[in-house]
Structure 1
């Protein structure tokens, strides 16, 4: 008897387009002899669409300038079995039971960013009593919020670069005081990020006060809380985590950005960034990366999966933890699956493991 998997994609965040490509890869790789796949798309205005035409509908409405390069996009019209399940964008209340088609055994929420990766959808699925892939409500919320994440990392004794939290209203009311506070604590360059966003959306590198003002304005478009971090000349080292109570860690990889740093364009649009798996680092450093990644995952009470990102100072050799991504990209160029493949776990088998972990977590919760 096959397992019915609802693959949830799209969403109302700035990472909507990345989610579409991630979900296409997941849907294509799920074994049809083991799974009955139900595509469920969430439009940018909050409509939930279920059926084989859901992906085409969302791709047709997507911002073509933000769709990752190198992926196939369906162009067919909505299919006959396409139905609007519900609409959550308005002021009215929606029954949780109406958001998913009947008979779903497990949900694979291939959603990135706020209103998807941040615990909101996870809480919805908890209320619905449905198993789902990935971290729970608390871990998803902490993993999405860079300020809360850093607080959890600090409590776990993980190495963090200096950083500050800036609140949008305080910056807007007194920008000079905000600039002075940042410049007193950090030195240029600094990275300015929305606290709740991923895929480098809204992130800027500021090299002086004018750049800082522009960067804060850009981040403020996406969040009322903004993280400002000390910039360093760094290599970007990443590692994948898989599991519930006894998580495993892949071999590390390294991303060499095509631009000055690994922004949205370098990740998804340019197609020129280099990936090295395994990362060209010493065996001792590789082991340290894996050890710290496991600690970071457990510090937020992670479950299912996460990708943990590090910064390796090119000058001092110091290793710093950057962040945990609780629903990393599953696009054809994404690191999470590539690092597991290099560790001996191919993509279809990885998806099998993730679904099994979701069902296991539901059984023991």
Structure 2
């Protein structure tokens, strides 16, 4: 096994007989950032802890830098794996100043070398001017940058991030995660990150592993998961979804908003048509099939609630998300256009629908 980066191979784990990770396999290549994305309790943090060496998997193997670190009777503890950690609680040492915090993990270096390396990574995260400051004197964003510098200082083989931005307000969170992404990419370190925020995962990750009930449901680049979800759970993970129920007839489903191909589904099978609100566009038309019930202006976008009426079918409630400059008046009649790339057909009752 000569490949660098992280390899998790057929890993399973349980707590007191309750399985929390089931046959998970994934790779994080050199310089790659992979996000584990999913709801609370899906197993993503346990997977991260297994990569760190904080948990020994019941089954499977873990390789780091081409070396077996867990499995087959081997389990290397975290302190011998050369991994960096960045968690929601930055855990800076209150009795050490910023420079002392970053130097803490460099005890094998000579004093001058240790100081030089600490100052170099503080410069990398834009915190050199705060080298003599104490943690309590820093803002949340500054503390996060110091924690990142401390984690990167020993030249780790792998960086592990567990919801590192969730404690920050939205404005600061956007800024800090942008800065963190640039630092991680510049450093070239392999990174595995846990988040429950799909927008954050798409912003940060080269690839995303969507997890549910301890399993990786789908893994790939953000665009692949968004545009080609394997099931309704993955589709709904990346934002609000309109769901229309119908039965398959002639290889398709007929709905109040159009006809959609139902490849792979049996004749007369119950199906769910999932349509992203951003895949719905509107054109004013006096004879349009939909009426605007409510328009919510949300700044850069407008969320429109629609009642769709088609003869012979039950009325359908639908949401459309339009640019903020387009917010139709309530009561207006509109004609719909559905972007087929933003509509998916899956078996009815599938998990996540």
TM-score range, shorter chain: under 0.3
Using structure 1 for the length normalisation, give the TM-score: 0.24
Which structure has more relative contact order (CA 8 Å, sep 6+)? It is 1
Query: Which is richer in helix?
Result: 1
Q: Name the larger-Rg structure.
A: 2
TM-score w.r.t. structure 2 length? 0.25
